[in-house]
Structure 1
Amino acid sequence: MDELPKGFATNNPRPFVQIAMMLWRDKLAFCAAIFISLVLICTVLGPIFMEDIATKQNLRGRNAAPFDWSQNWVFWLGGDALGRPLLARIIVASQNTIMVASGAVASSLIIGTTLGLIAGYTSKTASLLIMRLADIIMSFPSLLLAVIVLYMLDPAVGNLIIVLAITRIPIYLRTSRAEVLEIRERMFVQAARVMGASTNRIVFRHILPVVAPTLITIATLDFAFVMLAESSLSFLGIGIQPPEITWGLMVSQGRPYLTTAWWLSFWPGLAIILTTLSLNLLSNWMRTALDPVQRWRLEISRGKK
């Protein structure tokens, strides 16, 4: 078997290795990626192993102070008003918080992108109707619309995802339409049309891959906004209701104890801040990594030894 040429592994890295190397170049984005990975692990595994611990009441540990190393490790962040460990509850609550945000972003991304592709590449009549729909949705403040709808409907996880997704559709619709209107005039699209390619093939095979990096970057940033919106609705009492928990609901439940037990609202609020900050840092990194013009800033130099 012939040996690989010297330097083959470094000059031709696998895509995953290349992405990891580019991420390592931006230390803030690398730390953000690690934190988001930990949050996702807690989202998947947390409720499986810690749901019983997070819901078990212990009135002797009501509003237990944090950093009491003599207590069980689940009480290192303190206890809530019913003596339930805050660390376990934050880990379990991450599932509902991330699930609502990811569901709303994925739904709005798919629907908005599809409508944007149709509006940007088809007839003017379809484009006009779709854009008027976007204008109608954008005429209502997103949080106000969510408050009105959730006040009328049951504040369940599904309804919360639907409401938040509807309010974010215009973001992806208008962005994808603007991108398509510019890309459809490029030479490779004209060549595909001359060669007899169908409309579906041109849109989904040639135009969508060019638009996707921009939309993915926006979705990463929008994820943080939707998570904050869900936390705000839970804080107002019209989001997910007990016994289900989210980070925003935990902040709301700790509000009456801010002067005596500040940690009840501080730790879930800190989880929201760190997750939002990490998503913003990753969004900035992705904007550079997915742009062929700016990607060289993140590529590791291949100097000779």
Structure 2
Amino acid sequence: MADVTASSVKSAGNVRQLAIYLTRDKLALCAAAFLTILALCVMFGPLLVGEMAGKLGLRQRNLAPFSLDQGFVYILGADTLGRPILARLIVGAQTTIGIAAAAVFCSMVIGGMLGLVAGYSERWYSHVILRGADIIMSFPSLLLALIVLYTLGPSVANLVIVLAITRMPVFIRTARAEVLELRERMFVSAALSMGASAGRILFRHIAPLVLPTLVTIAAIDFATVILAESALSFLGLGIQPPDFTWGAMVANGRGYLASAWWIAFWPGLAILFTTLSLNILASWARTVADPLQRWRLQSLRKAPR
């Protein structure tokens, strides 16, 4: 019971310390606040404004932003069919974030496991894994995605698979580099001397030490996947109507930039803020996790009044 209490106190202290570090970096704090609001919109927003996102209103066609005559939902204006852009941004966020999260999770799990095997084993299949990663990396990721989606056809499943495959080499090489260093440590030799199998050593002892690095890479890669998905949707090879994402909203408004700029501006701004916030927060997390860089946050103090 005492051990459980001590562990709870230690966890609460770690969370409190992270909160202190976050408040000392104002840019990271703003990024975390924006991502928190975005997460709440993704989880609960479609339940509130989901029906409005597809509701046609020819009287509100190309309605200018900051006009509250039609209600608060039209504060960002309306598109060419009179649908409120605010509602479509909230619903589109769920699709965009969902596709990016699924692609990053699949690439991290599959790429991480392949990287573990390639780094620990010296058999022929480890070389096959590395050469496969080299082949994928030799093609521009967007070009490869365009070819595959044009051949198989655009759909949610194909989009997730393509995005996961194009980002997998990053996790394979990162996991392999970590394993090459960890397999030479004393605890691996001790486990081998006690008769532990290769699978137990790899997934019970080495994988937990590699996982934090892979999670950090996934947080950084999340923004890249959002941009790739938005680019594919902009080119018409992403989600097809009636479903939509932020990239598809930008594509729908590109023909009206001179007369109704807000149709493409707001989803483009949402993509910009989301990717920028993810990169800022990932940089902050990397600083906190590195003892050689953590002093930057520890040395910050509130200036006296």
- Asked if these proteins are the same fold (TM beyond 0.5), I'd say yes
Instruction: Tell me, in whole angstroms, the C-alpha distance in 2 between the residues paired with 1:298 and 1:122.
Output: 40
Structure 1 residues without counterparts, runs of 5 or longer? 1-8
- Give the AA of the match of 1:219: A
Other-structure match for 1:3:
none
What amino acid is aligned across from residue 218 of structure 1 in structure 2?
Answer: I
Letter in 2 for 1:217: T
Q: Which residue of 1 aligns with 2:150?
A: 151
Is the Cα–Cα contact under 8 Å of residues 25 and 300 in structure 1 kept in the other structure? no
Are 1:22 and 1:300, in contact at CA under 8 Å, matched by a contact in 2? no
Worse-matched range after superposition: 63-72 or 199-208: 199-208
1:288 — aligned with what? 287
Which residue in the other structure is 1:267 paired with?
A: 266
AA aligned to 1:36 is L
For 2:131 and 2:49, locate their aligned partners in 1 and report how far apart those are by CA, in whole Å. Answer: 47
On the 8 A contact 1:32/1:282 being kept in 2, the answer is yes
Q: CA-to-partner distance for each residue in 1:222-279, whole Å, 9 max, x for gaps?
A: 1000000000000001110111010000000000100011111000000000000000
CA contact (8 A) 1:102 1:223 kept: yes
Structure 1 range deviating more: 258-267 or 214-223: 214-223
1:89 aligns with 2:81: no
1:115 partner amino acid: L
In the other structure, the counterpart of 1:6 is none
Amino acid at match of 1:231: S
Per-residue CA deviations over 1:78-102 (Å, capped at 9, x if unaligned) read 1100111101110010011001100
Whether 2:57 is the aligned partner of 1:58: answer yes
Distance 2:106 2:158 in 1: 13
Q: Is the 8 A contact 1:213 1:290 kept in 2?
A: no
Q: CA deviation at 1:116?
A: 0.4
* Contact 2:24/2:300, CA 8 A, preserved across alignment: no
How far apart are 1:180 and its partner, in Å?
0.8
Who is 1:4 aligned against?
none
Superposition RMSD on alpha carbons, in Å? 2.1
CA offsets per residue over residues 72-129 of structure 1, 9 Å max, x none? 1011101100111101110010011001100000000000000000000012322111
Indicate whether 1:107 and 2:106 are aligned: yes
Match of 2:174 in 1: 175
Distance 2:43 2:27 in 1: 25
Deviation at 1:186, TM superposition (A): 2.0
* Deviation of 1:221 (Å): 1.0
The separation in 2 between residues aligned to 1:301 and 1:221, in whole angstroms, is 25
Count of aligned pairs: 294
With over 3 angstroms needed to count, the CA separation of the structure-2 counterparts of 1:13 and 1:139, relative to structure 1, is same
Structure 2 CA distance for partners of 1:45 and 1:300, relative to 1, 3 Å: farther
Contact kept, 8 Å, 2:61 with 2:78, in 1: the verdict is yes
SS in 2 for 1:254: helix
